[in-house]
Chain A
Amino acid sequence: MDYVLIIVIEMLRAISWLVLLASGLAIIFGMMRVINFAHGEFLMLGGYITIMSHNAGVNLWIAMLVLAPLCVGIFGILVERFIIRFLYGRILDSLLATWGLSLLMVGGVTLVFGNTVQGVSTPLGGVSIGAYQVPFYNFVLIGFAAVLMLAIWSVLKFTKAGLIARATMQNPDMAETLGIRTSWVYMATFGIGSAVTGLAGGLLAPLTGVVPSMGVNFVGQSFITVITGGASMIAGTLSASTLLGTISQGMTFLTGPVYGDAALLLTALVLLRVLPQGITGRIFKKSL
């Protein structure tokens, strides 16, 4: 029995892993139609900041939940002001520019921090469920993924800022006529998207080897989740993460990671053929 429970926990962790990876990208790509190929490197930057500040004595949780999002958010705003601002509406150029940015970040972090930095061990140790032991940190991840989704949903749904952001992204010209300084909204939205990715990077730092080139492992998964999710941000990312996370983990349990990954890709492929606009292109049409 507890083996089944372990599998369920494992799937929930995989889902929250995808949610954390993809929500920052959902904001930047899903909402702003900017292809951010440097998304993996933003995660890496979040990881690095968490570790560097922890090694410098800052409490791990503050480093992870405050410093990482803050610094990566500010970095995001700088990137938006100097690069992305010229590329709105030119979705392909944003791809090429951000691919250059990702190379630059890998090289830059190697120059500044070097490529071997002592990591931080996973806090809170293990907890035993039946005959098995699972890192307690899993529940922290699941918790934060849920909180993150809830936070973004409520900001977009209930706050004035959320409304302005959504309006601007849907029709910038109309938003201008209503007196909204759209350039500020773009800057802020890109900043928040980067901050969310920084937070995700921070949360994942204790679980992975943090090196300058770690980003490449995450960029594929994040894009596929956001694209499969489709237009609406919250419902799309959530439904896609759940579907893809469950299938990939299920297959991994049954046959092993190779077929787990292949299953995830095949599901995405079939979904894209059946629902070209992504899950929320058709179902949950009106949701956020």
Chain B
Amino acid sequence: MEKTLAKDIGFWVMLGIGLAVMFIGPMVWGLFEIMQITQYVVLSVYALSLAYIWGFGGILSFGQAAFFGLGAYTFAVASINIGETTVPFALSFLLPAAFGAALGYFMFYGRLSDVYLGVVTMVVTLIFWKLINHTAGPEYSIGAARLGGFNGIPSIPILNVPGDAKAWLDPAQMFQAFMGILIIVYLCLRLIIASDFGRVSVGIRENETRASLLGYDIRRHKVIIFAIGSGIAGMSGAMWATYQTFIDPNAFSMEMSAKALVWVMAGGVGTLAGPILAVILLQWLSLKLGTMHILNNYFILGAILMGLVLLLPRGLLPSLRLLAERLWHLGRQKMDASAASRKATSDV
């Protein structure tokens, strides 16, 4: 029984939800809800980039923000200079992907162990953060775009319909465009994961020695996986820049990298839907906290994070699935004990 994509219910459920939200959403929600959900969509694409390289390639990056920021700044500088956003948007995928490949070559051909891999990516992000923060003077500008250092780049053009530079997307159109991008990214990732390349990457995640004993060049594989993840993160950075029409060095901050880690860990490593769920829940939670003035918000957010790790060790989605399975079993006492139906943890 081969677990082809077509037979995986989880996949179709996610696709269904995505399309429903994309088309019905604008009719149902007001402008404010649309703007808020657009932000969750952007951050979900960002979370997917780490969910893919970590969950399905065994590559733990502490510095996903480096590519998020690089994509955002590439889009900002390119769109301000070109005045049109289609080419810059493509650049915001290609440039970070190329940088990811170069950095990947530097790391994977250097036989770094996982923990040091995490640290190298963290150090690279810190370097970006330091250098970008230093570009405050007028002499730091590329073409017409001032990098602006700590204050960032203001008034970044809004995404326009490809081909017609003046047709800027209104919030509802931008929401649908971003929702479309999220669905396409999710679809492509699931296809890659189900493909032979994906199977080998999962093999590499499980046991690198065996993969090389089968003749697979794991270093090349990891560079490709890392580049794909970097490209997606870069694109989500561009989506963030055009959504907010403003970008500042916080896009490169340690907090941005840590957020991605939290979402994937909380959502469940080895799944794609989990991190998306975690983005929505945790972002909504910190938004809610901001409006309720109980104690100090850092205090509450910290307590919740610790609770998450101690109570849901395997992350939100796998735990929910486990809970559902257990309840399903308890509900059907007459099931015989052998529980032949215990299906392998499918990669939703």
Contacts and interface: CB of A to CB of B under 8 A. Distances in A.
What class of interface size applies to chain A in its complex with B? 35 or more
B305 interface: yes
B306 A97 contact: yes
B126 A86 contact: no
A96 B130 contact: no
A96 B305 contact: yes
A100 B124 CA distance: 23
Interface in B107-152: 110-113, 115-116, 119-120, 122-124, 126-127, 130-131, 134
B130 A262 contact: yes
B120 A100 contact: no
A interface, over-half SS: helix
Contact of B130 (A104, A105, A265, A273): A265
Interface in A213-267: 216, 220, 223-224, 227, 258, 261-262, 265-266
Interface stretch (B192-200, B207-215, B236-244, B295-303): B295-303
A100 B295 contact: no
Contacts of A258: 130, 134
Contact of A220 (B126, B258, B308): B126
B120 A269 contact: yes
A272 B116 contact: yes
A93 interface: yes
B301 A103 contact: yes
Nearest to A226: B119
A170 interface: no
Nearest to A37: B258
A277 interface: yes
B1 interface: no
Given A273-B106, A273-B110, A276-B110, A266 B127 contact: yes
B166 to A, nearest CB: 40
Interface pairs A-B: 3 shortest CB-CB: A107-B299, A100-B305, A104-B302
Given A103-B301, A106-B302, A273-B120, 9 more contacts: A93-B265, A97-B306, A101-B306, A102-B302, A103-B299, A106-B298, A107-B296, A265-B123, A272-B116
Interface of A: 83, 86-87, 90-93, 95-97, 99-108, 110-111, 216, 220, 223-224, 227, 258, 261-262, 265-266, 268-269, 272-273, 276-278
14 contacts: A83-B310, A93-B309, A95-B261, A97-B309, A97-B310, A103-B305, A104-B306, A110-B296, A224-B123, A258-B130, A258-B134, A269-B120, A273-B112, A276-B112
Interface of B: 60, 106, 110-113, 115-116, 119-120, 122-124, 126-127, 130-131, 134, 254, 258, 261-262, 265-266, 295-310, 313
